């Protein structure tokens, strides 16, 4: 079976209190992209994982560092199902586009796709609730990526309220040839004392997430410490704004940034401009 593993972006990210277990309570909107990784999964006598950079990958050197062993979330996802259902094994080829440490949820999406694909391949008798629990064992944003689309994420990212997605809104993602450690970014950011009203507004406003994007308080709390330590990100955010994006942000803890555009022509023109300026640009849509 072949399966697509879409990348995600964060539309806003508010850091609330830090829990005793070290995780942070957050508010954010997750939204998947049409762009991402690809997996091919075949029945086998043993578990094996081969990771290859996609032919159109922006920074193949970063992707060559992605491990093909038990430290990879794809391996761990397959191993979870194999042990629970006594499966013989699978041979997995992971074609990577999403670089690690970019805030695009690439590894989490790969794990979610593996869970979904193996469930279908072996016609496993497992409920969505149980699959959600297994996904949580792998990472806080893996449950969302089981289905994708758009959702308000609370708690540590596992409490999800589905939102009507902004399908086919043009997006430009700028990638960077470096990774940002997520734990460092969370430690460097300040915490908020209370929730932000604009996150809850999409649950009641008729405009939904489209209306919430106009909220001036919809911002990524990790952005300030990240751009202070990584000034190249400031240049990318400024370039996206100058190219006509109506919403620009760091995604997760970075290093990727993105901009949303009104029309495909606007995004295409901006992509050409940014490419000419030397930025590594991915042209895609929300989906």
Q: Which residues are catalytic?
A: 8, 141
Helices (H), the chain: 60-63, 73-85, 106-121, 128-138, 142-145, 182-188, 197-201, 208-212, 223-229, 231-242, 264-276
Count CB atoms within 10 A of the CB of residue 95.
19
Distance CA 44, CA 10 (A): 36
CA angle (240, 246, 251) in 5-degree steps: 60
CB distance 139 to 108 below 8 Å:
yes
Return all residues near 63 (Cβ < 8 A) that are at least 6 apart: 51, 53, 54, 57, 96, 97, 99, 100
CB distance 277 to 181 below 8 Å:
no
Strands 48-53 and 90-96: parallel
């Amino acid at each position: 079976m072949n399966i697509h593993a879409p990348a995600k972006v964060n539309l806003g990210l508010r850091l609330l209190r830090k829990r005793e277990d070290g995780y942070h309570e957050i508010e954010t909107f997750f939204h998947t992209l049409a762009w991402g990784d690809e997996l091919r999964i075949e029945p086998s006598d043993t578990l094996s994982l081969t990771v290859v950079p996609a032919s159109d990958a922006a920074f193949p050197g970063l992707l060559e560092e992605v491990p093909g062993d038990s430290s990879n979330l794809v391996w761990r996802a397959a191993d979870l199902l194999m042990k629970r259902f006594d499966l013989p094994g699978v041979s997995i080829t992971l074609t990577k586009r999403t670089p690690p440490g970019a805030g695009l949820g690439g590894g989490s999406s790969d794990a979610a796709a593996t869970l979904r694909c193996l469930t279908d391949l072996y016609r496993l008798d497992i409920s969505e609730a149980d699959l959600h629990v297994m996904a949580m064992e792998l990472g806080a944003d893996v449950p969302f990526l089981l289905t994708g689309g758009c959702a308000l994420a609370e708690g540590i990212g596992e409490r999800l309220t589905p939102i009507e997605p902004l399908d086919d809104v043009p997006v430009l993602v700028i990638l960077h040839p470096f990774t940002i450690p997520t734990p460092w970014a969370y430690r460097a950011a300040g915490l908020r004392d209370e929730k932000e009203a604009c996150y809850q507004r999409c649950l009641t406003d008729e405009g939904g997430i489209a209306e919430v994007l106009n909220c001036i308080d919809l911002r990524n709390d990790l952005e300030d410490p990240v751009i202070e330590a990584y000034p190249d990100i400031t240049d990318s955010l400024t370039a996206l704004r100058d190219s006509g994006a109506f919403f620009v942000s760091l995604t997760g803890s970075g290093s990727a940034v993105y901009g949303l555009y009104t029309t495909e022509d606007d995004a295409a023109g901006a992509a050409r401009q940014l490419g000419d300026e030397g930025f590594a640009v991915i042209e895609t849509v929300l989906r």
